[in-house]
């Protein structure tokens, strides 16, 4: 698979695509972990976790929004 990406996009393109996929996977895992631990014991978490697995972009956006909200909270202090 990497050979095909390299043949189509060259060295720099394949490097950017590979790193992008890697970082997306890391952010996805961090988002799913954050959603699981956000409100332990509530039923809403199971629904959000189900959505996070079916829609892989959701945990990444959730993670970014949580980082922005925590930055705003820290600025208030």
3-state helix vs strand vs coil in the chain, percent to 5: 90, 0, 10
Q: What is the pLDDT of residue 77?
A: 82
Residue 39: the pLDDT is 67
Structure tokens at 6: 């390299």
* pLDDT above 80 (res 2): no
Q: How many other C-beta atoms lie within 10 A of the C-beta of residue 5?
A: 15
**50/28 Cα distance (integer angstroms):** 13
Q: Residue 45 above 90 pLDDT?
A: no
Hey, where are the domains in the chain? 2-76
Q: Is the predicted pLDDT of residue 38 greater than 90, yes or no?
A: no
* The predicted structure's pLDDT at residue 40: 63
* Closest among 26, 25, 28 to 49, alpha carbons compared: 28
Contact 34, 60 (CB under 8 A): no
């Amino acid at each position: 698979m990497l050979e095909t990406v390299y043949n189509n996009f060259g060295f720099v393109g394949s490097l950017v695509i590979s790193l992008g996929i890697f970082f997306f996977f890391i952010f996805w895992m961090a988002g799913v972990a954050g959603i699981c631990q956000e409100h332990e014991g509530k039923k809403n978490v199971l629904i959000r976790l189900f959505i996070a697995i079916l829609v892989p972009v959701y945990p990444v956006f959730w993670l970014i929004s949580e980082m922005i909200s925590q930055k705003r909270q820290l600025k208030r202090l």
